[in-house]
Chains A and B, each alone.
Chain A
Amino acid sequence: MGSTTLLKESGPREVFCGLTSIVWLHRRMPDAFFLVVGSRTCAHLIQSAAGVMIFAEPRFGTAILEERDLAGLADAHEELDRVVNDLLARRPEIRTLFLVGSCPSEVIKLDLARVAERLNGQLQGGVRVLNYSGSGIETTFTQGEDGALKAMVPLMPNSNEAQLLLVGTMANAVEDRLKHLFERLGIPSVSSLPPRQSTDLPSVGPGTRVLLTQPYLTDTARELKDRGAEILQAPFPLGAEGSRLWMEAAAKAFGINGSHVATILEPLMVRAQKALSPYKEQLAGKRIFLMPESQLEIPLARFLHRECGMELVEVGVPYLNRDMMQSELELLPHNTQVMEGQHVEKQLDRVREQRPDLVVCGMGLANPLEAEEIATKWSIELIFSPIHGIDQAADLAELFARPLHRRDLLNNQLLVSV
């Protein structure tokens, strides 16, 4: 570290709030329901962000506060009990209910922890009720997952067994692949948080080593540390290099012979580099600007620069946790502009001034930039795609090459028709 330029700015922001993370969390745990206690805005946000009309009956919903709920908090508690009981009667397959706090519920100081405690008493273990906040006044986008996972930690059983715990939601297929590789490396026991069934929680204790799969899990990591786990320091598993360093960190912690690790990972690296090379050709020398949204920006910038040869114009992050990002920041090129926070208007001024070849941004900004002839990539797509691990490095690069490739295709078409 030290070579990067860490800047800060504040002003109007254009980021999702933590409620958005329900979109992938509910798919990860099919026996869990996420009940937002909030307003019509919250309900509209989640369905708009997710484009969720395809579901018959989704496993998330909003208990929408109405005038009379605001008038008396006592009534609001009663009303919430009623909504929860109706919901659970309707969906008997639900094993874990997350009560998710929102901006309005935080502002009126509706104590969801107390509600959860009371409901747990009533439900007597049939359904576990947890709570966390996904409110925009406290969390951005991916931080919602941090809250949800943190709420699950106290329920994890104790164990002193030596084990590796992967923390953070990944695509199931990618997770299976990584677990298989850890097995081949010789790590005896590998489990995940969140689990695929909400009740199937992994254990934690002094023998547990934690690898974070996502860079936004600060609070969960702290909580796991308090339970005796060791949080391994490594870059995040995006790109071949990052994924290798990430796996090596685990191997080292488990005392696995370095040459054995190299025997397993080296062929993967060779294959990944071969797969990456056509994308590297398209991306090398291209200038990229990352607007703050998902917290993946720094690891992505590291990958795009070191493995794809892209130039980093500006790397925005909603917030910067230096401890968590230390291994990543060390790998960024000299004088990278890392901007924490946002003043969206000023940032867009800089985009226009710098004319990067590609901007990573939220869905609200993408088409307006495209209309200004600036190619974009939606950051939300990176959250939904299987991008972790050495084997996925080329797929990750392709996500960034595609908008540029498409632009070339369309420009050629236009030239032909002129």
Chain B
Amino acid sequence: MELTLWTYEGPPHVGAMRIASSMEGVHYVLHAPQGDTYADLLFTMIERRGRRPPVTYTTFQARDLGGDTAELVKGHLREAVERFNPEALLVGESCTAELIQDQPGSLASGMGFNMPVVGIELPAYSKKENWGASETFYQLVRGILSKQPSEESGVSHSPAAWKSEGRRPRVNLLGPTLLGFRCRDDILELEKLLNQHGIDVHVVAPLEARPADLMRLPNADLNVCLYPEIAEATCLWLERNYGMPFSKTVPIGVGATKDFLEELHQLLEMPAPNPGEGAEQSKLPWYSQSVDSNYLTGKRVFIFGDGTHAIAAARIADQELGFKVVGLGTYSREMARPVRAAAKELGLEALISDDYLAVEAAMAEAAPELVLGTQMERHSAKRLGIPCAVISTPMHVQDVPARYSPQMGWEGANVIFDSWVHPLMMGLEEHLIGMFRHDFEFVDGHQSHLGHLGGHQSQTEQQQSQAATNPSTQSNADSSSEESPLWTPEGEAELAKIPFFVRGKVRRNTEKYARQAGCRRIDSETVYDAKVHFRA
């Protein structure tokens, strides 16, 4: 028994729902009690889908348990098939139904339906969502391919067959699902990228694939395993049974995209791609090289997420942005091995945990300047006052942006640069505050370079900022009995030259200094003395 206050992953049948809902023409009959229907809202609210997930829940109740629950399951199966007439039927159970052992998969197979029926058994008391998605995708591909005559199997598969067949090479993109991180946009980006290299995308699955598309999987030259959490088991099976090789590099980041293209070209026996393509196609390398990015050097970054995105983030942070990775971990036990290896390369011990409080503790301990994590790490980072960018599931409505924002390929690298760097203070701004803070542009009344503020508004803002600093003046007057130093008009004038966003801090520091130095009146000299004092 494990105490859980919040969980990164849902139960495995939610993973199965992700596969069913991602596809077209698939229906999932789920033997589950009333209440398990909550999972629909993950798709309709978080993904903002305008369609219900194609799932029929048997929603059995306590009173049904005394009777024949198997008959109840069969009734729902018949009705679902009649109403939805799916091209393939998935049948499974949730945690409670697993205990009553009706074996809905076997029941369904015996009912003489004329579409492929795939029973899925997902151990709800030991496995989780991503495992459930992976297993379901694998069982579905296997179940559907085993229905077709096996002329293909046994025949040796050549990934270079496109040459002799006089066509462009073609690949399957495997792994994208609903409730996966930016999958929809990753697919568009990769289709574009591959097309530029003369490679066709044959089948994308499970997202938007039909059962008939799964039948066509072996006709591709190779498989691209985009998200190992979801697709690796399927890729391995296709390799074993159809001799189809699959690519292992996940193209997130400029370096990984380059490696991915090289891997693909090699497997397909194509001439090697231009190694300089990344610098030409993505802005990340130049933005990272540009002088403004000097302030990124050695920024301490803590990374936590699913395996795929955490590993990719560590590589980008370390090799492409010049950050210092001070923590790396995943909630995914299935991905523990590769994450441990990636951490070891960075001289770190990986954190493998699904306890968000342990992750928060590790984050605090590592004292990072930037956190790359899930929505939960975003909340933890907020509590600790550290900027954060979200890089991984579990999904939140904010992770389904209206705009195009892939993680993969050249454009994905651009998106990553922006979304990681923006939470940090812009480097140029950081410099300006230090170097030019006495310049007239930074003095009140000259803020028109902020663009959207007209002269009138900036005056208003000036008044507001003065109003904000006034209370401290007043409190000084009130507490004059405590020997608080008094600001002379000359001292106030010096203070007014300081940019408004650091003025409060300078005022406090100067007063602190004045008290320490036993100085009762603050003039311009005191302000300068204090500045030197605190710099030393």
Contact = CB atoms under 8 A, between A and B. Distances in A.
A362 B40 CA distance: 10
Contacts, number: 189
B34 A17 contact: yes
Interface in A8-49: 11-20, 39-41, 43-45, 47-49
Given A52-B6, A107-B99, A370-B50, A16 B35 contact: yes
A40 B383 contact: no
Contact of A63 (B3, B34, B62): B3
Interface stretch (A120-128, A132-140, A162-170, A193-201): A132-140
A85 to B, nearest CB: 11
Contacts of B40: 14, 363-365
B535 interface: no
A353 interface: no
B38 A45 contact: yes
Interface stretch (A75-83, A251-259, A270-278, A410-418): A75-83
A138 B4 contact: no
Contact of A41 (B57, B65, B95): B95
Contacts of A79: 1
Nearest to A80: B1
A19 B36 CA distance: 11
Interface stretch (A64-72, A151-159, A299-307, A398-406): A64-72
Given A44-B7, A70-B99, A15 B37 contact: yes
A379 B99 CA distance: 32
B35 A65 contact: no
B6 A47 contact: yes
B468 interface: no
Given A53-B376, A345-B83, A367 B10 contact: no
B316 interface: no
B207 to A, nearest CB: 19
B160 to A, nearest CB: 45
B124 A40 contact: yes
Nearest to B34: A136
Interface stretch (A54-62, A179-187, A242-250): A54-62
A21 B366 CA distance: 38
B528 interface: no
A83 B50 contact: no
Contacts of B34: 13, 15, 17, 136-137, 140
A395 interface: no
User: Which secondary structure dominates where chain A touches chain B?
Assistant: helix
Given A14-B40, A107-B96, A136-B33, A41 B124 contact: yes
Contacts of B437: none
Interface residues of B, number: 57
Contacts of B13: 41
Nearest to B57: A12
Given A83-B1, A107-B96, A363 B44 contact: yes
B11 interface: yes
A22 B136 CA distance: 32
B248 interface: no
Interface string A94-119: 00000000011011100000000000
A67 B125 contact: yes
A44 B33 contact: no
A368 interface: yes
Nearest to B360: A56
Given A40-B124, A48-B42, A12 B56 contact: yes
Given A39-B125, A40-B128, A53-B375, 14 more contacts: A13-B34, A14-B37, A39-B124, A47-B7, A53-B6, A63-B2, A70-B125, A79-B1, A103-B35, A138-B61, A367-B45, A368-B44, A368-B52, A370-B50
Interface of B: 1-7, 9-11, 13-14, 33-42, 44-45, 48-52, 56-62, 64-65, 76, 79, 83, 94-96, 99-100, 123-126, 128, 357, 375-376, 379, 383, 396
12 contacts: A12-B76, A41-B13, A41-B14, A44-B39, A48-B39, A52-B6, A53-B6, A62-B4, A64-B2, A83-B1, A83-B3, A137-B64
